Amino acid sequence: MKTATALLTLLSVAIAASTVTDQQLRDAQADAASWLTYGKNYQGWRYSPLAEINTTTVSRLAPRWIYQTGAAGSNETTPLVFGGMMYITRPSNNADALDLLTGKQIWHYHKDPPAGLNLCCGQPNRGFAALGDKLFKVNIEATLVALDARTGALLWERQIADYKKGFTATGAPLVVKNKVLVGIAGAEFGTRGFIDAYDAETGERAWRFYTVAAKGEPGGDTWAGDSWQRGGGSTWITGTYDPDLNLIYWGTGNPGPGMDGDVRAGDNLYTCSLVAIDADTGKLKWHFQFTPHDTHDWDAVADPVLIDLNIKGQAVKAVVQADRNGYFYALDRTNGKFLLASPYTRVNWASGIGADGRPLVVPRMEPSETGTKVCPGLGGGHNWSATAYNLDTKLFYFGTADGCEVFFRTKQEFREGQWYQASTDTALPGEPQTGAVVAVDPATGETRWRYQMLTQHTAGMLATGGGLVFTGDGEGYFTALDARTGKPLWNFQAGGGLGAPAITYNLNGRQQIAVAAGSSIITFQLMNGK
């Protein structure tokens, strides 16, 4: 009888653990054993208090298992971990459930991408979202699918937008209450960006927020003529959520066409901005534009990370972002008010940021027919790769690309479904871009340390209670840095470049680290006991 009760109790625990509730997502930070949402918690910290792997023990960190997908393409997934399973997405509409103990594939999802895709940047996918017994992911042809987490079976699929017009989808969805939020890519094809919310149960669309203001709408006067119709403003990286304010924070991409600003005179709202949206209605609460009238492809899509800061003695609910334009920003997340900005890399297009948060733009930095040298380059000082905030050190970590590029411009006519960037960029001969991992004090914008790398940083960040920052490089090194000094303490050559952030969780009481590298997923734990 006692045994039966115990078994039933165990069973119910196991069943509960294989689903994810709205409350669990709100409390995700307290659940160190799992990884339930893209940014670890709704605030996007990518910080786990787990400390078994720490500055002393990390020298004993070694692979536990390797899952080889055998697939081509950039592996950019943030795995989700719960209920004894790891859920990963892969390029070109693939996904797997892996046994957490062994890495064995339990189920596989695949859908053939259609012919005739208009792609800016390959077919990556950055991960699942979870709610109840469902998993949600986007497919490259701009659809959103719901899968049964236990079997991988397709429950529903919704077309988000028309891929023939240049729309694609690559980001991890964000679940808020009973809705699944997704962004879209395609600004290089003269599309008009948006953020969508879908009912998690039925897949019906609940709301859409357009990131490009139409004529007659507030902000519509920041676009010349009908240029807003091709205005870009992609939303290809996952946003964050403040449950107390019930606001979604989501970064928006570059205006279109990227390099020719003459055809779209004005600030081009709400491109290159952070927008705060009511989670229930999709209505705009506030916006902040980092780069008005951008002509350098500086999407503001990097993680908007929610941190409560003390700035000059004032407690403030802040949202911070390492923007692609070369500046780190902190804003008041209740109202969008500018708090501070500071450059974290070489910048030559602006002499600073004004008290109102608007850049003090240096003249003649637009792309030109003969080429204009601008720093940072097209990929920006910091691109999309995931950032992290360590609750112990109170530092914000992100990767950089440091250097300049030459920007060109041509005149180009818009044709639906065709590449519409109006030229491009090239590297500066003899001046290759380098990279770094930087630790910034978000309350001051001051760079505390910089770990120099040979090439621009591509992987994301994971911060842990063990005083470590896990990251990697394009040459295949997975690395642990001392969170307080930036000193490299451990590395592992993974045999393939890293383009994704690591995660951490507990398995049978032992801390694990997992990361996508090359076409593999690798998990690590300490060898030779604790």
Partner 1 sequence: MNHSIAILLLVPVAAWAQTANNPPDPEAAAGGGAAFRPYCTPCHGVRGEGGRGPDLTRGVYSAGDKDADLFRTIANGVPGTEMPGFAADLRDEDIRRIVAFIRSIARHDVAGIPGDKAKGEKLFWDKGGCGACHVVGGRGGRMGPELTRIGPQRSPQYLRDAVLAPSKDILPGSATITVTRRDGTKLVGVERGYDNFSAQLMDVAGNYYSFLKSDVQSATRGTRSLMPDQYGRLFTPAEIDDLLAYLVSLRGAEAAR
CB of 453 to partner 1, least distance (A): 6
* By the rule CB under 8 A, 479 interacts with partner 1: yes
Residue 115: half-sphere exposure toward Cβ, Cα within 13 Å: 0
Backbone angles phi, psi at 526, to 5 degrees: -75, 135
Q: What is d(CA 368, CA 378) in angstroms, rounded to the nearest whole number?
A: 14
Which one, 156 or 408, has the nearer CB to partner 1?
408
What is the closest distance, in whole angstroms, from the C-beta atom of residue 122 to partner 1 in the complex?
A: 4
Using the rule CB under 8 A, is 245 a contact of partner 1?
no
Minimal distance, residue 116 CB to partner 1, in Å? 8
Q: In whole angstroms, what is the distance from residue 309 CA to residue 318 CA?
A: 6
How big is the site for partner 1, counted in residues (CB under 8 A)? 33
Among the listed residues 6, 15, 121, 360, the single contact to partner 1 using CB under 8 A: 121
Q: How long, in residues, is the chain? A: 530
Q: Which is nearer to partner 1, 189 or 249 (CB)?
A: 189
* Residue (79 or 399) nearer to partner 1, CB: 399
Looking at the Cβ atoms of 118 and 464, the one nearer to partner 1 is 118
Nearer to partner 1, 48 or 168 (CB): 168
Write the binding mask 322 to 361 for partner 1: x where contact by CB under 8 A, - elsewhere: ----------------------------------------
Kindly state whether residue 199 participates in binding partner 1, applying the rule CB under 8 A.
no
| CB nearer partner 1, residue 371 or residue 518 | 371
DSSP for residue 146: E
The only residue of 33, 51, 106, 117 in contact with partner 1, by rule CB under 8 A = 117
Q: Which of 31, 96, 267, 297 is catalytic?
A: 297
Do 203 and 146 touch, CB atoms closer than 8 A?
yes
Q: Strand, helix or coil at 459? A: coil
Interacting span for partner 1 (CB under 8 A) from 6-14, 112-120, 283-291, 501-509: 112-120
Among 344, 477, 505, 524, binds partner 1 (CB under 8 A): 477
Q: Is residue 113 within the footprint of partner 1 (CB under 8 A)?
A: yes
Secondary structure class of 287 (helix, strand, coil): strand
Nearer to partner 1, 63 or 476 (CB): 476
Could you tell me the strand order of the sheet in which 240-242 lies? 240-242, 247-251, 273-278, 284-289
Work out whether 34 is an interface residue with partner 1 (CB under 8 A): no
Query: What is the DSSP secondary-structure string of 58-86?
Result: GGGEEEEEEEE----S----B-EEETTEE
Strands, sheet with 129-131, edge to edge from the N-terminal-most edge strand = 129-131, 134-139, 143-148, 154-159
Closest contact distance (angstroms) between CB of 434 and partner 1 is 11
Sorted by sequence, the CB contacts under 8 Å of residue 488 that are 6+ apart come out as 451, 479, 480, 481, 482
Q: Could you count the other beta carbons within 10 Å of the beta carbon of residue 527?
A: 12
CB of residue 425 vs partner 1: minimum separation in angstroms?
Answer: 7
Nearest distance from C-beta of residue 457 to partner 1, angstroms: 11
Specify the residue, 176 or 459, whose C-beta has the smaller distance to partner 1: 459
Structure tokens at 244: 């107390």
Site for partner 1 in 73-92 (CB under 8 A): 73
The answer to whether 297 is a known catalytic residue is yes
- Contacts (CB under 8 A) with partner 1, residues 400-459: 406, 408, 410, 418-419, 423-427, 429-430, 453-454
Which pair of structure tokens corresponds to residue 519?
């076409």
Whole-angstrom CA distances from 317 to 40, 309, 327, 447, 482 are: 19, 6, 20, 21, 27
- Among 18, 485, 491, 506, the residue binding partner 1 under the rule CB under 8 A is 491
Interface residue with partner 1, options 115, 363, 509, 529 (CB under 8 A): 115
| Burial class of residue 523, CB neighbours in 10 A (0-12, 13-18, 19+) | buried
- Which of 16, 72, 101, 265 is the binder for partner 1 (CB under 8 A)? 72
SS3 label, residue 164: helix
475 contributes a contact to partner 1 by CB under 8 A = yes
Q: Which region among 34-42, 142-150, 378-386, 475-483 touches partner 1 (by CB under 8 A)?
A: 475-483
Smallest distance from partner 1 to CB 126, Å: 16
Residue type, 308: D
Decide the pairing of beta strands 462-464 and 47-48. Answer: parallel
176 torsion bin: left (phi>0), alpha (psi -120 to 50), beta (else)? beta
Closer to partner 1 by Cβ: residue 312 or 487: 487
Please give the single-letter amino acid code of residue 382: H
Contact 57, 526 (CB under 8 A): yes
Q: Which residues bind partner 1 (CB under 8 A)?
A: 72-73, 113, 115, 117, 119, 121-123, 369-371, 406, 408, 410, 418-419, 423-427, 429-430, 453-454, 473, 475, 477, 479, 488, 491, 493
Catalytic residues: 297
